[in-house]
Amino acid sequence: MIESSPAFHGCFRSVRRSLLLGLAAAASPSWAQPASPDSLKAAVDGAHRSAANRARDRWRHPFETLRFFGIEPQHQVIEIAPGGGWYTEILAPYLQARGGLHAAHYARDDTLEYRRKGRAAFEAKLAAAPAIYGRVKVGVLPVGSSFPDIRIVGGADLVLTFRNVHNWIADGHLDETLRAFHGVLKPGGVLGVEEHRAPAGASLGKMIESGYVTEDFLIERALAAGFRLAARSEINANPLDTKNHPNGVWSLPPTLRGGEVDRARFLAMGESDRFTHRYIKV
């Protein structure tokens, strides 16, 4: 009988481990990437992101914002009103291997042309890069107090919305929309909100006119919908924003609605002062 040495056993284990890893890699879909503690940073720094979007990181702080919301690579996440996909560029690769991203966009047959075009452009972006966006599920924004076509077994871990609350106030359905978020989340699930910040005490009319929302107003409405405020962050604060602009928040970049009027001043001021809240479903 021949005794094998410890070195032999170590070599055998190493070869066996290499073979198993190779088989696992071969069996994985082409879009899958292993999650790691720094994979969120990798998604933020990814070369797939457009140069224009990456240039806004200094104002939008995506890594810090998503960390504050508590996102994990295994989470089921609903991104609300993703627009052209600024945050989708980060969320999709981060969640693709172990979690899931559901984008709630306008309906394809929306009555407004710009919304139909926005949905079509978003879907075209996803289709152009299936290795990154192949697992993103695109659905429709809430109708009333529920999502028409987004169903997640056990509920979503996070619902994320970036600079949308003022639109829902102006359209008169903020309360219903917040109830829809509450309904789609699992117990203890997180609602992450980033919004342009109005001075304390601003009237509802001023919020609608300017696009800036008071923190107290959103906290009040979120509590009424069944959430509790878990934490606030100043990640997206901008003390240079005076908030008294002729075209409201849309005077500032990236919109620059005033054209060349005071353009240099608004560019120097930067993007809006924003509050960032994390709510928990109770």
CATH code of the domain containing 165: 3.40.50.150
DSSP character at residue 152 = -
In a domain, 112, yes or no: yes
Cα separation of 93 and 32, whole Å?
Answer: 9
In a domain, 9, yes or no: no
In a domain, 11, yes or no: no
- How many domains does the chain divide into? 1
Question: Which single residue is written with the structure tokens 């929309």?
Answer: 177
pLDDT at 154: 97
Sheet holding 137-140, edge to edge: 137-140, 100-105, 76-80, 156-162, 185-196, 274-281, 227-233
Choose among 90, 36, 29: nearest CA to 61.
90
In a domain, 5, yes or no: no
In a domain, 17, yes or no: no
Choose among 24, 28, 135, 156: nearest CA to 80.
156
Cα separation of 153 and 76, whole Å?
Answer: 10
Indicate the pairing of strand 156-162 with strand 274-281: unpaired
In a domain, 14, yes or no: no
- Amino acid, single-letter form, for residue 98: R
Question: Which single residue is written with the structure tokens 């224009």?
Answer: 52
In a domain, 24, yes or no: no
pLDDT at 95: 97
Cα separation of 212 and 274, whole Å?
Answer: 9
In a domain, 16, yes or no: no
How do the pLDDT tens digits run along the chain, 282 residues long? 334 444 434 443 443 444 333 333 333 333 233 344 469 999 999 999 999 999 999 999 999 999 999 999 999 999 999 999 999 999 999 999 999 999 999 999 999 999 999 999 999 999 999 999 999 999 999 999 999 999 999 999 999 999 999 999 999 999 999 999 999 999 999 999 999 999 999 999 999 999 999 999 999 999 999 999 999 999 999 999 999 999 999 999 999 999 999 999 999 999 999 999 999 999
Positive or negative: CA dihedral 237, 240, 246, 251 = negative
**Domain residue limits at 109:** 33-281
pLDDT at 63: 97
Helical spans, DSSP H, in 225-274: 263-269
pLDDT at 3: 40
